[in-house]
């Protein structure tokens, strides 16, 4: 494993593995053991420029390459992931602190998105549109945007890099990827290595490991990329969108969430408990779709709460390498301290801790809080970790009001014995995604993924990915002669 990290602890620019020339190093740590995994000298703004120029040079020929040839790259990338699945899972466990369940979940989706990229490589490239002008033929071509800049997050780094990078490449673009500095391998150079082995033309995909402390806004201001895809916090996303708009770039923003799982009075309580526990505590709650809030109708609140708390107490906290561990470490000490502060603030405001987990280093045990004041800011912001708020409600009207009382609108779920009642409830919620009788954490290659309000702008997956990373070009052909008014 150590050799895997050292081999990939470089920049990947212009088809070459090389060290950065910045003034400091990104130190990649195992969040559980605090072991140093790798050290990477950061890329400078000049190296970001080199990466973008390389992608632009390679993109023209790539876009002109037969779609069937392009398709072969993604078939080989898929085989590479399948052949190295155990090694990649171990890397995710070490660098991200993900459990074996989380690593398997991430790898499953990576393979699904690579399969979708095989299809996208053969996506139809144009249509004929009728014209009111006699003899005119309107051809509308779908063409790559050119170069896409991708900024990936730390929580599901391999998946959230691949699900953007692979479709963007499949549709004929060049890509420059900047991973989060806490996960530079799983979210960055591992992706480059997979595609290098798959035979992607050199220079088309570049990975720069760096930070705004070194490059400022150079990654998003650079004149080459026409689209910037960012996954992360709404605070940073707002800045990315502002800079992109100022430079006439398109931005695709997948931002935070404050999802709610709602238990109506006719729900299957045992099933709802299982869904709620998974939805809150998968990957230590470090998921934008995680259920920060669990809303329960007062008529079933006592039963649900007793069973929910009992199940939470069974969750094993510890070494993510242990197959029985459910909750591993959060990504870093800053995140752990923030979560401890959230619990302290809730208790100071009058909340009751049904479960109060200890915080030791990066290990944050689950906390279940109730009686949080309805006007508390904690209920309206994203809580990125294993802390959950239980909120009782009286009837559907109040549930809808509480669910929507947040700046976010990404995901959510409702549990009920009546499927159509659940669908009707879901349609009332101001959110990009909602699930009936299921958890809140889902992603599939063909359905539009994204949020509203502070949860983002734009969609990914399926045809919405095509919209994100291509543009249309109208070419008209006049058969015969036009008649001009002068």
CB atoms < 10 A from the CB of 135, how many?
11
Measured distance CA(206)–CA(189) in Å, rounded: 9
Residue 117: name the closest of 190, 187, 169 by CA.
Answer: 169
CA angle 144, 148, 152 (to 5 degrees): 140
Mapping DSSP to helix (H, G, I), strand (E, B) and coil, where does residue 290 land? coil
Give Cβ neighbours of residue 7 (< 8 Å, ≥ 6 apart).
none
SS3 of residue 460 by DSSP:
strand
| Annotation marks residue 83 as catalytic | no
Taking the CA atoms of 393, 397, 403 and 405 in sequence, report the sign of the dihedral they define.
negative
Write phi, then psi, for 57 (nearest 5 degrees).
-65, -45
Catalytically annotated residue among 288, 349, 396, 397: 288
Q: Let me know if 244 is a catalytic residue.
A: no
* Backbone phi and psi for residue 292, each to the nearest 5 degrees, phi listed first: -65, -35
Dihedral-angle region of residue 412 (phi above 0 means left; psi in -120 to 50 means alpha; beta otherwise): left
Catalytic residue among 95, 254, 382, 396: 254
Q: Which residue has the tokens 């053991």?
A: 33
Residue 256: closest CA among 227, 212, 290, 284: 290
HEC per residue, 348-410:
HCCCEEEECCCEECCEECCEEEECCCCCCHHHCCCCCCCEEEEEEECHHHHHHHHHHCCCEEC
Task: Say which residues have a Cβ less than 8 Å from residue 178's Cβ, sequence separation at least 6.
Answer: 149, 150, 151, 152, 188, 207, 208, 209, 210, 219
> Which helix (DSSP H) or strand (DSSP E) does residue 468 occupy?
helix 462-469
**Nearest C-alpha neighbor of 309 from the set 354, 351, 343:** 354
Catalytic (active-site) positions: 254, 288
């Amino acid at each position: 494993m150590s050799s895997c990290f050292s081999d990939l602890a470089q920049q990947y620019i212009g088809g070459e593995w090389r060290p950065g020339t910045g003034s400091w190093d990104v130190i990649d740590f195992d969040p559980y053991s605090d072991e140093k995994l790798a050290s990477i000298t950061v890329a400078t703004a000049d190296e970001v420029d080199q990466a973008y120029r390389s992608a632009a040079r390679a993109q023209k020929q790539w876009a002109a390459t037969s779609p069937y040839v392009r398709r072969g790259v993604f078939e080989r990338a898929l085989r590479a992931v399948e052949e190295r699945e155990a090694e990649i899972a171990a890397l995710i466990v070490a660098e991200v602190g993900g459990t074996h369940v989380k690593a398997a979940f991430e790898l499953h989706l990576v393979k699904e998105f690579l399969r979708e990229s095989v299809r996208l490589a053969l996506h139809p490239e144009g249509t004929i549109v009728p014209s009111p002008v006699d003899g005119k033929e309107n051809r509308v071509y779908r063409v790559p945007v050119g170069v896409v800049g991708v900024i990936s997050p730390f929580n599901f780094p391999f998946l959230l890099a691949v699900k953007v990078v692979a479709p963007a490449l499949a549709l004929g673009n060049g890509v420059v990827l900047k991973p989060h500095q806490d996960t530079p391998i799983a979210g960055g150079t591992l992706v480059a290595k997979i595609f290098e082995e798959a035979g992607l033309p050199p220079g088309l995909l570049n990975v720069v490991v760096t930070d705004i402390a070194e490059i400022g806004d150079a990654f998003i201001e650079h004149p080459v990329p026409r689209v910037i895809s960012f996954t992360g916090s709404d605070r940073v996303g707002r800045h990315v969108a502002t800079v992109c708009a100022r430079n006439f770039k398109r931005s695709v923003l997948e931002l935070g969430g404050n999802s709610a799982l709602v238990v109506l009075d006719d729900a299957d309580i045992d099933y709802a408990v299982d869904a709620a526990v998974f939805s809150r505590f998968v990957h230590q709650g470090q998921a934008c779709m995680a259920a920060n809030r669990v809303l329960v109708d007062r008529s079933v609140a006592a039963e649900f709460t007793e069973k929910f708390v009992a199940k939470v107490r069974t969750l094993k906290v510890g070494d993510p390498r242990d197959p029985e561990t459910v909750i591993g470490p959060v990504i870093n000490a800053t995140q752990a301290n923030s979560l401890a502060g959230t619990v302290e603030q809730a208790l100071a405001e009058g909340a009751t801790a049904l479960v109060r987990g200890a915080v030791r280093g990066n290990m944050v045990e689950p906390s279940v809080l109730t009686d949080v004041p309805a006007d508390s800011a904690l209920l309206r912001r994203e809580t990125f970790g294993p802390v959950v708020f239980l909120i009782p409600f009286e009837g559907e009207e109040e549930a809808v009001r509480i669910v929507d009382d947040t700046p976010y609108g990404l995901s959510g779920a409702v549990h009920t014995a009546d499927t159509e009642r659940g669908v009707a409830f879901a349609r009332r919620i101001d959110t990009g995604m909602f699930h009936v009788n299921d958890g809140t954490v889902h992603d599939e290659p063909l359905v539009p993924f994204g949020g509203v309000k502070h949860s983002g702008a734009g969609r990914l997956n399926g045809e919405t990915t095509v919209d994100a990373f291509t543009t249309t070009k109208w070419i008209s052909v006049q058969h015969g002669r036009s008649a001009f008014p002068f």
